[in-house]
């Protein structure tokens, strides 16, 4: 799977593949034309409560990833478009946060790399 993570404020590139905004809120100050997203999947973003709890506090990162993983596990249908896109070619997950290492797109990429090829039924079978 070819999945990259990119800040939505960075310029789009020809080799970005399918560009998907994975934030629950639209990035400040940017138009749709500037974002150049092929899709905006709010449902794969962390819940508002989780996002507010995390508040981009690096000390909470491990716990954030655990909680976000649980949310993703419970929302397998919303992930299907990402799984399909990642199988077809490059997928670029767009995020608005300032922190390039500790954000939901980084966590989502890691999740997809582990769970991307298997469907919800396989994961929940055990």
Q: What is the pLDDT of residues 14-40, one digit of tens each?
A: 999 999 999 999 999 999 999 999 999
- Residue 77 pLDDT > 90: no
Using alpha carbons, select from 11, 20, 13 the residue that is nearest to residue 108.
20
Per-residue pLDDT reduced to its tens digit, 89-124 = 999 999 999 999 999 999 999 999 998 665 544 444
Q: Is the dihedral of CA 75, 105, 102, 56 positive or negative?
A: negative
- Is-contact 3 94, C-beta < 8 A? no
Per-residue pLDDT reduced to its tens digit, 47-62 = 999 999 999 999 999 9
| pLDDT value of residue 117 | 63
Question: Kind and range of the H or E element at 48?
Answer: helix 48-54
């Amino acid at each position: 799977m070819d999945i990259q993570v990119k800040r939505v404020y960075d310029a789009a590139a020809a080799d970005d593949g399918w560009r998907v905004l994975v934030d629950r809120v639209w990035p400040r100050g940017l138009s749709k034309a500037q974002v150049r997203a092929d899709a905006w999947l709010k449902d794969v973003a962390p819940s508002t409560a989780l996002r507010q709890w995390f508040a981009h506090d690096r000390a909470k990162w491990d716990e954030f990833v655990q909680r976000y993983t649980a949310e993703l596990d419970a929302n397998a249908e919303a992930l299907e478009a990402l799984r399909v896109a990642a199988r077809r070619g490059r997928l670029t997950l767009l995020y608005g946060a300032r922190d390039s290492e500790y954000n939901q797109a980084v966590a989502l990429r890691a999740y997809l790399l582990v769970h991307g090829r298997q469907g919800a039924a396989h994961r929940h079978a055990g």
